[in-house]
Every structure is written in C-alpha cells, then in structure tokens.
Amino acid sequence: MFAWLPRAALAQEKELKLRLSEQLSRDAEQRPRRAARAPRVRDRSGTLRLRLSRQLTEPPAIAVISPGAPRAAAPSPLASPAPPVPPAPQRVMELLLQVDVNRQRLDEPVLVLRREDGTLLIAGEDLDRWRLRRPSTPPYEHEGRLFYPSSDLPRLKLRLDERTQTLTMSADPQAFAGTVQAVTGERNPPPVLPQPGGFFNYTLSGTRIQDTTTRNGLFEAGFFGQHGVFTSSALASDLTRSEGWLRLDSTYAVDYPAELVSVRLGDTITRPGTWGRA
C-alpha cells in the first residue's frame, strides 16, 4: 500500500529561489556579452550561474510504505501501444454494367464500383432486389449508397467481360434470402344464395328449297333459386306441326360448395370410356 504525504501545505505560493545551473555557465562561456549581465558565483567545480527555479519552492513528497504491502509496479511505456494507422482508402471507378444472375436474363444496367486492385463492389439495394443476402462486414459508402466488396460474398461468383461490359453472377442456393409467409387456415365465407329467377334461350332457323319451306328451332328454359337449378331443352324439327317437338334433356342440379358435392337428377351426358363415344 502506497500513500504520498506532502509536507506542510503552503497557504500561499512562496517566492522563487535561486538554483545553480551548469547550462548557464556553458552559455556564458560561448556568449560572454550576455553572460556579463548575470551575477557570477564561483566554486571549486568551475563557473556556475544562478537560475530561477520553481521546483525549489514546491514541497517534496514523502512516500510511506506499510510493512508487508506489495509494491506497485512502475507503469511501462509498452502497456498501452499506439493504435494502428488505418490504410489509405483506395480510389474507385464507376462502371455501368449489364448484370445477369444465374442466367435469368435480367438484362438490366447496374452501377458497379471497381477498386484499383480489381475488386468489384455491388450496391446493397441491388443485392436486395436480387434477393441475395448482404454480408455482415461494414460496407463502403459512395455518394450516399452502400456498396459491398465481392470478396465478402463467398457464395457469389462474378465474371466481368470488359469487351461487352457485362457482369455474370453465379450464386449458390445458400446465397439467396429465404422467404417466409404465414398461411392461416381460414375457411371460405359461406356462398351467397341466389334469388329466384329464370331464363329462356331459343334458336330459330328457316330454309326454302324450290317449293319446300322448312322452319325449325331449338329451345331451352331454366329456373333457379335457393334450392337448385332446373333446366330443360327441346327441339322442334317443324314448327308448322305440333308432333314435330322432341324433348332433349331435363336436369335438376343442386350444388354444395362447402362439401364440394354436386347432385344431378334427370338427363345428363356422362364422360365416355376409353372406347366410347358421346
């Protein structure tokens, strides 16, 4: 344990005292004219001059060391080394290149930077647009935009063709950022039941060959509501005769969207087999 105890503290600063100085003596021999102005004090060691010193007025400090206490080590000048000097930044050159990622034929011009050592730097916003991961290393700022060197993208291989000014990128699957989308199992809203109604379709045709006239037609009628749809169609080969009418098909259909079920009652045309025709 160390404690530094000064002697009696001085209430006021004392006046400066005189101190012998060998340097003043040497200066006096070289410059006798200036040395003649200062008072001389001689002793056996040679000619010494008087010099004002503030150190004589300051009280010396007394070190008190308690027995058994370890002594503090003197501070070493090597304990806190000076910080390393960062290397000077390299100059960059702007290149406007046509970039293609994994042969997707993007064919879009992109601003790329190139250092003096040939390292290419790609903008972070371009990496985000291509869904490529940004590296964790600090970026390089250029005109307000952040650029990342290609050496920090180990999963991305670049090939620059200076003749055609194209930059081809080959990225591994791990280089792309994953897409996570939460899908909820919401049920579809219940269907809107239609109001009661109906429809009627018809097709009429007439032909005349010499003295023979033929009139025929195709008719279809339907009715729908909350409980299903009923449709029926008929063919009239000769409208001038009542016995020329022929019913084609009549069907009643009900759909259940929630259960993905449809019910058909009546005439219907099913899908034929491999060797069948319909």
- CA nearest neighbour of 20 among 2, 57, 45: 45
Higher model confidence: residue 111 or residue 194?
111
Higher model confidence: residue 266 or residue 49?
266
Average pLDDT, the chain: 74
Burial class (CB in 10 A: 0-12, 13-18, 19+), 146: middle
- pLDDT bucket at 214, cuts 50 / 70 / 90: confident
Hey, what amino acid is at 121? L
Q: Kindly report the number of other CB atoms within 10 A of residue 115's CB atom.
A: 15
pLDDT confidence of residue 267: 82
Which uninterrupted H or E stretch holds 112? strand 108-115
Burial class (CB in 10 A: 0-12, 13-18, 19+), 21: middle
pLDDT confidence of residue 69: 53
pLDDT confidence of residue 250: 92
CA distance 111 to 116: 17
CA distance 267 to 123: 67
pLDDT tens-digit readout, 27-59: 555 555 544 454 544 444 445 555 555 555 555
pLDDT confidence of residue 5: 45
pLDDT tens-digit readout, 133-167: 888 888 888 888 899 988 888 778 888 888 888 88
Q: 133 is written with which tokens?
A: 């991961």
* Helix, strand, or coil (residue 2): strand
Decide: 227 and 254 in contact? Cβ < 8 Å: yes
Of 86-95, 210-219, 249-258, give the lowest mean pLDDT range.
86-95
pLDDT tens-digit readout, 219-238: 999 999 988 999 999 888 88
pLDDT confidence of residue 167: 87
Q: Which domains does the chain have, with CATH numbers?
A: 2-6+16-65 (no CATH), 92-175 (3.10.20), 197-266 (no CATH)
**pTM score, two decimals?**
0.36
Higher model confidence: residue 268 or residue 110?
110
CA distance 200 to 223: 9
CA distance 214 to 248: 20
Residue 112's DSSP bridge partners are: 95
Decide: 49 and 21 in contact? Cβ < 8 Å: yes
pLDDT confidence of residue 28: 54
